[in-house]
Structure 1
Amino acid sequence: MRAALTLALSLLAGAAFADDTPDKYPESVLYDKPVEVAPGVYSAIGATQPPTYENAGHNNNLSFIVTSDGVAVVNGGASWKLAEALHHEIEQVTDQPVKLVINENGQGHSMLGNSYWAAQGVPILAHEDAAEDFAEMQGPQGLEALKSYARENAEGTTIVAPTETFTDRKEIQMGDTRIEVLHLGPAHSPGDTQVWLPDQKVLIAGDIAFSERMPPIFQGTCTSCWIETFETKLEPLGAEIIVPGHGAATDLDTVRQGTVGYLKDLREKIGAHIEEGGDLAGAYYVDQSNWEYMDTFEELATKNAGVVFTEMEFE
């Protein structure tokens, strides 16, 4: 098993690194065709750029786990059409029915496709905080944004809540596959959820882990909590393959650098700026040049600096 995982990971590292291609899979609304990241575990790797008409909002990873007793899908998708397209790809891989959808957070690109899955009668699981975030803010805002950029590809999409929520963890036995749905702790956004396959040592990590794409930091995000959750809860799992929320499947060292490495560096720079008497206006210009290689650097670097300044100013 370990040899198979190592081979799969090496192939992904060589073939699926992010680029600026507007659409890698023109015959589908999906940005790219699902790839097998580990035996029985597939992910349609989304664009690592912001949502656009060309990528139809598929700018996160839509994953699925094939078991001997059904399929578990991780992420509802950003729209009815994306969820439908993913379902079509699943049907090319297996005759097993989809029996569960797991939302990895409350953002639109995780939950707006719930409308399709609910219409198929599939149960949908999410963390209680993610469900609340989707209902109160992310769902309505995300749907309006989807209609604006996706145009006809937003057709059919409505706001549909998860059918079940959990608090800390939920263990699922699906055929011969153990699936642990976890909320390891505060990280990127309310109710961040990780899907852990302990027997395969595969973690579908969601937005607690970044590598190719710069982590977005929201108002209300606790970056020190995010670092602690990553180091004390995620790392001890011992995952050998990690599917981050955005970008190709990779290993622990890579997502540690892209996540904790970035957060610690930004906090150190902002902390020094504050100690020198710097203000918010100056915080936007702290040196983040070491991270220019990450996708969405131009969109996020200065915003992140401002948010972290506000967070740290009174720590």
Structure 2
Amino acid sequence: MSESVYSAIGATAAPSRENFGHNNNLSFIIAEGGVMVVNGGDNALLAAALHDAIRELTSKPVRYVINENGQGHAFLGNSYWSDLGVPIIAQREAIEEIQAHGQNSLAQMRERMGPLVDDARVVVPGIAVDDRYLLELPGLRVELIRFGAAHSPGDLSVWLPEQRILIAGDIAFHERLLGIFPDSDVDAWIESFDVMADLKPAIVIPGHGGPTDIDTIRYFTQGYLEFLRDEIERILDEDGDLSDAYDIDQSAYSELDTFDELARKNAGRLFRQMEEKLW
């Protein structure tokens, strides 16, 4: 992908003890002045394993860790980096999410991982950013960008303008079906995607799955969201109900991992959100 940008590609499945919670992408950028890590990881042991991989490539220190959102696999490994004195950065809304629900994420991770993580704790990022933040190290210029509301509170992407590489995070999916959660904003996500695409990245590293191009991401992310929204609009116009939403034919996306787990849930959640807006 690049001589300076690397990504440990996680499993396109739910986090588990078998995959060690590594079900999202953990990326890092090596520059003249040090290393920047994207995502704290699901737990401190996973963060340490990533650090070992970094050390195999460079002796330069990690200067910053960036959390792409407020989900557990983005921040529960922060404690490892914090203990090393590495500053941790996140979008302001993600920090609020971690403060509000971080202990719940921690409890779920402990239940999944067992005694391996008995000493796990939540570390809240110490640097809050809003919509754009310029981060510079010698030999590296990086822009942290929140394109707008999308998958979850505080979605943050990492843009390397000189290389035209975008570490997009969970605004972008292509190998697994995206999840629509109670705090996802589908209308805004569709619009935020256009803002992201305007950068015209050469390479996109999504939140899950391998590096790809913007057209592939557009089809499996924005295209899927528009398809599902249009289908539910039709159902609502015809006075249909939740059962009709569950019956939407989503087979065009059935090749994607997590389709069986998420397709009907996505339809149900989006139907409820759109129906509520009509009240």
Correspondence 1:68 to 2:29: no
CA contact (8 A) 2:39 2:75 kept: yes
Correspondence 1:167 to 2:130: yes
Q: Which moves more between the two structures, 141-150 or 250-259?
A: 141-150
Q: Identical aligned pairs, as a percentage? A: 48
Pairs within 5 Å for 1:38-77: 38-77=2-41
Question: Which residue in 2 is equivalent to 1:211?
Answer: 174
Matched residues in 2 for 1:107 and 1:220: separation?
Answer: 12
How many residues are paired up? 277
Q: Which moves more between the two structures, 191-200 or 166-175?
A: 166-175
User: What is the DSSP-based 3-state SS (H/G/I as helix, E as strand, rest coil) of the residue aligned with 1:101?
Assistant: strand
Matched residues in 1 for 2:252 and 2:235: separation?
Answer: 17
The residue identity in structure 1 corresponding to 2:135 is: I
1:87 is aligned, of 25, 31, 51, to 51
The residue identity in structure 2 corresponding to 1:180 is: E
Give 1:153 deviation, angstroms: 3.6
TM-score (norm: length of structure 1): 0.86
The unaligned stretches of length 5 or more in structure 1 are 1-36
Matched residues in 2 for 1:193 and 1:42: separation?
Answer: 18
Give 1:255 deviation, angstroms: 0.6
Correspondence 1:262 to 2:224: yes
Correspondence 1:280 to 2:239: no
The residue identity in structure 2 corresponding to 1:103 is: N
CA contact (8 A) 1:214 1:295 kept: yes
The residue identity in structure 1 corresponding to 2:111 is: S
1:99 is aligned, of 55, 63, 72, to 63
Pairs within 5 Å for 1:224-263: 224-231=187-194, 233-263=195-225
Question: Which residue in 2 is equivalent to 1:29?
Answer: none
Matched residues in 1 for 2:166 and 2:120: separation?
Answer: 29
CA contact (8 A) 2:89 2:126 kept: yes
Give 1:307 deviation, angstroms: 1.0
Superposed CA RMSD: 1.0
Question: Which residue in 1 is equivalent to 2:144?
Answer: 181
TM-score (norm: length of structure 2): 0.97
Give 1:141 deviation, angstroms: 1.7
CA contact (8 A) 2:147 2:196 kept: yes
